[in-house]
């Protein structure tokens, strides 16, 4: 671990911070932009609130979900994409033409009047 000068602002990677976190105690150090390590709450491999934003993005990419990686997405927005990927909307049923409905109704009426149950 390098030496630090009081009042010095230093940018470090999240991986470095995770490695040295136990030694960076308050009030001696102030951490800004820190994300807690990813923990899989359900132990199911599906992103949830405990996942880091970067890990959620990586999971979405591994699932083939396309989104603009260049634009900033909050963790909430990424989790919405996860939900949409896992629970896609049901397809809309194809509309039936009126003449087809009338033909089916006529067939049913014809069967009822003739007693034909085929």
Q: Quick count: other Cβ atoms within 10 Å of Cβ 81? A: 19
CB distance 53 to 78 below 8 Å: yes
List, for the chain, all residue ranges whose pLDDT scores fall below the cut of 70: 1-2, 33-37, 39, 69-70, 96, 115-118
- Helix axis angle, 75-86 relative to 53-62, nearest 10°? 30
pTM of the model: 0.50
Tens-place pLDDT, residues 41-55: 777 788 888 888 888
pLDDT in tens, 22-39: 777 777 777 776 666 676
Tokens encoding 87: 């629970």
Residue 2 is predicted with a pLDDT of 66
d(C-alpha 85, C-alpha 62), whole Å = 12
**Can the peptide bond before residue 27 be classed as cis, meaning omega within 30 degrees of 0?**
yes
DSSP state of 41: T
Helix/strand/coil for 23: helix
38 touches 55 (CB < 8 A): yes
Domain range annotation of the chain: 14-86
Q: Tell me the C-alpha distance between 116 and 18, whole Å.
A: 77
């Amino acid at each position: 671990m390098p030496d630090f000068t009081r009042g010095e602002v230093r940018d470090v990677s999240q991986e470095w911070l995770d490695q040295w976190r136990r030694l960076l105690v308050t009030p001696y150090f102030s951490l800004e932009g820190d994300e807690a390590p990813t923990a899989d709450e359900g132990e199911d491999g599906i992103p949830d609130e405990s996942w880091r934003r970067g890990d959620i993005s990586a999971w979405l990419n591994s699932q083939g979900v396309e989104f603009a990686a260049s634009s900033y997405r909050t963790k909430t927005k990424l989790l919405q994409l996860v939900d949409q990927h896992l629970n896609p909307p049901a397809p809309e049923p194809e509309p039936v033409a009126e003449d087809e409905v009338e033909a089916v109704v006529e067939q049913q009426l014809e069967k009822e009047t003739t007693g034909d149950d085929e």
